[in-house]
Structure 1
Amino acid sequence: MRANRVLLLLTLSALGAIVVLPIGAVLLQAIFPDLAQGSWARPLAHLGETLSNPALLELIGNTLRLGACVVLLSALLGIPLGCLRGLCRVPGARFWDLLFLLPFMIPPYIAALGWILLLQPAGYLQQLAGSHLGGFLFSFSGVVFVMTLNVFPVVYFAVSRGMAGSAGRLAEVGRVFGGNPWRCFWRISLPLALPGIAASLLLVFAMAIEEYGTPAVLASNAGFFVLVTGIERRFSDWPIDLPGASLLSVLLVVMAMFAFIAQRRLTAGRSYETLTGKPGEQAPRELGAWKLPALALFAATASVASIAPLFSILATAFSGTLSGGLSVANLSTRHFEAILTQGGNATRALLTSLSLGLGAAMLTGLLGLLVAYCVVRLRTRGRAIIDALSLLPNTMPGVVVGVGLILAWNQGFWPATPYNTWVILLLAYCCLFLPYPVRYANAALQQIGENLEAAARVHGAGMVVTLRRILLPLVWPSLGAAMLLVFAIASRELVASLLLAPTGVQTVSLFIWRQFEQGSVGQGMAMSSVTIALTTSVMLLVSRKRGSLR
């Protein structure tokens, strides 16, 4: 019991430093409009003015509609692909996994710009096929299309890892007792994968409502505004409205909490334990006559989600000029030569981003496992609060987390502060991406019976040994996949980096952003290409060593 209390205290302390401080600062700013000036006067004085704005209902409606549509399409795309990957022997399975990881390694604003260069009038598609899809791209449907392709791998990897576990083996048991394949899938495999599906769809919804890059690049051109773009305008347009932006951020939190409650209600009162002893290997099923249709589905999805935007990025990076179009005469490596001759700025930015991404992946992986253990295993009254706190960051746009960290740490009463150092960037990344390992580890722990831990305690193992020798190996496929996602996304995070990067510290995203600001689109795409290649190589190497991609 003492070990449980120590673990709970450590987890709460970490959540307090990483999550509660910045979000609490934003909440206080939403209540006290003059907090930034050091005054606690006039609480909620701006509430009526903000809520009475007629544009607010439109922002809320657009945000909910966008999130719901992205969740629906991600489910329709990710669940079938994940089931096929987890239950069946798909030729080239590791190759498809790698291709579906690419959207996480392409920053959303880069992907959106790539789709613009591809589908706009006189874009690459028109140069190749004679027609363009600019009208579709700059519309609500186009925004949903691009955002779905960016986030559906969250569902794919959660479902494939869940199906590859004991759910598939138990379905085989059902077939032995007379169940046909479809009945065993609907009655055994799919219900047992429900925690992972619900967790991944919750993450997709949170990612959709807080994503800034795609709505800023595409939705504004379509006259479609959401809460996150409204928040950014209140932060950036003069006069700056910190109280109003903070209040809109609170509304985003409320939306995400409703999704959180819906997930808990969906999985409440059911048991998902499938590992009650030593886990065994599951032999994937042969696809048989469905082999070619399945491969066609994987190939079509990978072509649209990964290859198309990557082609646009590479075509721009290797083009001498945009006006030159796709032609052999326009091929050039001058953009790569330019980024290599800028005094080492590109190299330093790349190393900084990779180091911060690795640090964020390790810290969030450790804390995610501890949070999931406290929520699933410890019988404490506050476990729902711990779970909710771990989810909150994914409901906050990066710009809000950045401002929250500034408000929290840029205060004179701290004896030491991470503000204006690289540590503030690490805290921001950990805060933003903590929900990934928490959700994945939570879903994995729900499938592990408690008798394994009881047996370890009977043989004298303490909590630390049990976590390290028993639970961690069992949850590692899901947790490792989540940590890879954290590494990929943290390595190219933009908005918080723009706000928090101290003088002399430059990340890849900042380097690329400044190239675009200067009109050097080719150099920005060249740096994006280098980053994608390096992060892909690192993730492939790690996955092979750890067995995350199986």
Structure 2
Amino acid sequence: MNKNTLLPVFTGGALLLLVAVPVTFVLLQALFPHLDAGSFSSPFSAFVRLFTDAQFPTLLGGTVKLGLGVALCSALIGIPLGTLRGLFVLPYARVWDALFLIPFLFPPYLAALSWMLALQSRGYVQQLLGIDLNNFLFSLSGMVFVMALNVFPVVYFAVSRSMAASGSRLADVARVHGAKPWRAFIRVTLPLALPSMASSLLLAFTLAIEEYGVPAALGTRSGIDVLTTGIEQRLADWPIDMPAAAGLSVILVAIACCAYCVQRAIIGGKNVETTSGKPTDAVPKSLGRWRYIVIALFVMVATVAAVLPLASMLATAFTRTLSGGLSMGNFTLRHFEALFDVQGDALGALGTSLSLALFTALIVGVVGLLAAWLVVAQRVRFASCIDALSLFPAALPGIVVGVGLILAWNRSFWPMTPYNTWAILLLAYCCLLLPYPVRYVSAAIRQIGENLEAAARVHGASAAQGLRLIMLPLVWPSLLAAMLMVFAVASRELVTSLLLAPAGVQTVSVFVWRQFEQGSVGDGMAMASLAVLLTLSVMLFAVRLQNRQ
């Protein structure tokens, strides 16, 4: 095989294996419910059965309500805070950025479990303040509250960066010509940030409808069902209903795609560009007498979103028993000691998660680098297909990827299969996290341009040599940052681990989840504390590395 075609063929094969295979089997199983028997009869009958199922309106309604509620609450929190951060001189701005990054990096299922310990009956809030918020927590409003605190940083960072880039100079011009402050903000400043707002709210909606951990932890006790828990139920309860699980998976992806179309329609024709002579720096304004009120607002949000769930998690990890309450006499280190017990399962779970995360980072780093290079720098044939396959997992819920891998590899015609081995988890993680290096490396390659690699080709270097000797060293900081992000996210992934982990294999997330199910809450939160410390450290280092680049 020609060396010039080897890399495109390898990249295309890897993308087909990681992305196309599970997605194709989900679609085939949804369209042809008797696919397991090798029959293509009764097409679309699974959808007919789903649409006539009495539970389907509940699942669909719960999913849409949850997504819209989280998007709305994220907007109510993120847009005002982002506007203040972008347009004004905010004291301790970098501190707030770091604190608001923590909830987004905090695994949603751990946030839900931490809020359960804090707000449920006889929880920490009731012990300290005498307020019982159990009924609020285990309700749709409680689920929206927990998830919005986890997701709003997406909106905050998008709005703050957009506002900071555009500044208030044009709004000042409008005020000079007679516009009142609010009118200038609504007619000038806000339209400039509208694309960023719409994109971030779409992401908040998508993250909410794709989440499994929060609905599974809170929704099951309040009778609120969503599509993700409905899919898991059809895979876990006997008899297993693969066609229904595949059909619900397709519907979930379709909702995410519809949300994307709505976002495109909202901002269509509304992209606003500014044209002026010399570029000028955006100078933020002083908060003046509102300074301390704004600081109090940021303190309140940071405390609720970041400090309280972390405090709840750590309090449980260092507490002997929940019934003993918050007292020095109930303080213990035994839960952490149990993690390092050689005869226990914790060390094995930690080792499995770290190993899978490391291999995932290496694999998606290589595939992502090649995909971005072929699409952006080489512009090979079928570049659009490579680009679509490499970025499509960003729209795939984790539970859909898990269903696809079960359907794809649990087949008798395969001579070898990764199903029921740790390799199936590796495939799932690689599929879900592939967009990270593709996006990071694509942005870095676009900044570099084409001249250096073209000069190398003129002097006799092959495409592979240009990639290895020129492009890789230049994009390495961005690639390393992406791989670190992949490592951190893979080490805490929950839903595919629950679906695909073979008997006797536990990851950190599965270990924590099982400890809660078994009532060993302290051991679970001790492991969660280690996982969060590792995740936050790696991801913050990755963000810092990327910002420096």
Could you tell me how far 1:71 is from its partner in structure 2? Answer: 0.8
Aligned residue in 2 for 1:225? 225
How do residues 234-249 of structure 1 correspond to structure 2 at under 5 angstroms?
234-249=234-249
Contact in 1 for aligned 2:62/2:225 (Cα 8 Å): yes
CA RMSD, Structure 1 to Structure 2 (Å): 4.4
Aligned residue in 2 for 1:350? 350
In structure 1, the residue corresponding to 2:55 is in which secondary structure?
helix
Contact in 1 for aligned 2:245/2:403 (Cα 8 Å): no
| AA in 1 matched with 2:408 | A
Could you tell me how far 1:394 is from its partner in structure 2? Answer: 4.9
Could you tell me how far 1:174 is from its partner in structure 2? Answer: 3.8
Distance 1:18 1:196 in 2: 30
Distance 2:86 2:375 in 1: 26
Distance 1:11 1:264 in 2: 30
Aligned residue in 1 for 2:91? 91
Contact in 1 for aligned 2:360/2:430 (Cα 8 Å): yes
Aligned residue in 1 for 2:19? 19
| AA in 2 matched with 1:31 | L
CA deviation vs aligned residue, 1:297-328 (integer Å, no higher than 9, x gap): 22111111111111111111111111111111
How do residues 184-223 of structure 1 correspond to structure 2 at under 5 angstroms?
190-223=190-223
Aligned residue in 2 for 1:110? 110
How do residues 66-465 of structure 1 correspond to structure 2 at under 5 angstroms?
66-164=66-164, 167-168=165-166, 171=167, 174=170, 190-269=190-269, 286-343=286-343, 345-357=345-357, 360=360, 393-394=393-394, 396-411=396-411, 417-434=417-434, 453=449
Could you tell me how far 1:126 is from its partner in structure 2? Answer: 1.0
- Is the alpha carbon distance of 1:88 and 1:433 closer, same or farther for their aligned partners in structure 2, counting shifts above 3 Å? farther
- Is the alpha carbon distance of 1:391 and 1:228 closer, same or farther for their aligned partners in structure 2, counting shifts above 3 Å? farther
Contact in 1 for aligned 2:169/2:282 (Cα 8 Å): no
Contact in 2 for aligned 1:203/1:394 (Cα 8 Å): no
CA deviation vs aligned residue, 1:458-505 (integer Å, no higher than 9, x gap): 9899996998799999xx6xx998877655433211121123235665
- Is the alpha carbon distance of 1:301 and 1:488 closer, same or farther for their aligned partners in structure 2, counting shifts above 3 Å? farther
Provide the aligned length of Structure 1 versus Structure 2.
Answer: 534
- Is the alpha carbon distance of 1:16 and 1:264 closer, same or farther for their aligned partners in structure 2, counting shifts above 3 Å? farther
Contact in 1 for aligned 2:174/2:184 (Cα 8 Å): no
Distance 1:377 1:188 in 2: 37
Could you tell me how far 1:109 is from its partner in structure 2? Answer: 2.6
Could you tell me how far 1:80 is from its partner in structure 2? Answer: 2.7
In structure 1, the residue corresponding to 2:325 is in which secondary structure?
coil
Distance 1:296 1:425 in 2: 44
Distance 2:275 2:17 in 1: 34
Unaligned 5+ residue runs, structure 2?
Answer: 458-462
Contact in 1 for aligned 2:253/2:397 (Cα 8 Å): no
Contact in 1 for aligned 2:168/2:282 (Cα 8 Å): no
How do residues 463-482 of structure 1 correspond to structure 2 at under 5 angstroms?
none
- Is the alpha carbon distance of 1:267 and 1:250 closer, same or farther for their aligned partners in structure 2, counting shifts above 3 Å? same
Bigger Cα displacement from structure 2, 421-430 vs 53-62 = 421-430
Aligned residue in 2 for 1:528? 528
| AA in 1 matched with 2:313 | I
Contact in 1 for aligned 2:79/2:156 (Cα 8 Å): yes
CA deviation vs aligned residue, 1:138-185 (integer Å, no higher than 9, x gap): 221111111111211222233344445xx24xx366478676787776
TM-score by length of 1: 0.80
CA deviation vs aligned residue, 1:324-357 (integer Å, no higher than 9, x gap): 1111111111111111113475345334434544
Contact in 1 for aligned 2:103/2:151 (Cα 8 Å): yes
Distance 1:210 1:123 in 2: 28
Contact in 2 for aligned 1:196/1:440 (Cα 8 Å): no
- Is the alpha carbon distance of 1:413 and 1:178 closer, same or farther for their aligned partners in structure 2, counting shifts above 3 Å? same
Could you tell me how far 1:95 is from its partner in structure 2? Answer: 3.0
In structure 1, the residue corresponding to 2:113 is in which secondary structure?
helix
Aligned residue in 2 for 1:31? 31
Contact in 2 for aligned 1:252/1:395 (Cα 8 Å): no
- Is the alpha carbon distance of 1:350 and 1:192 closer, same or farther for their aligned partners in structure 2, counting shifts above 3 Å? farther
Distance 1:362 1:101 in 2: 25
Among the aligned pairs, what percent are the same residue?
55
Distance 2:321 2:416 in 1: 49
Could you tell me how far 1:520 is from its partner in structure 2? Answer: 1.1
Aligned residue in 2 for 1:538? 538
| AA in 2 matched with 1:214 | V
Could you tell me how far 1:77 is from its partner in structure 2? Answer: 1.4
CA deviation vs aligned residue, 1:263-317 (integer Å, no higher than 9, x gap): 33344456678999x9998766554444323322221111111111111111111
Bigger Cα displacement from structure 2, 90-99 vs 120-129 = 90-99
- Is the alpha carbon distance of 1:198 and 1:459 closer, same or farther for their aligned partners in structure 2, counting shifts above 3 Å? farther
Bigger Cα displacement from structure 2, 72-81 vs 279-288 = 279-288
- Is the alpha carbon distance of 1:45 and 1:259 closer, same or farther for their aligned partners in structure 2, counting shifts above 3 Å? closer
Distance 1:330 1:298 in 2: 33
- Is the alpha carbon distance of 1:546 and 1:394 closer, same or farther for their aligned partners in structure 2, counting shifts above 3 Å? closer
Distance 1:200 1:394 in 2: 14
Distance 2:92 2:372 in 1: 33
Unaligned 5+ residue runs, structure 1?
Answer: none
Distance 1:321 1:154 in 2: 36
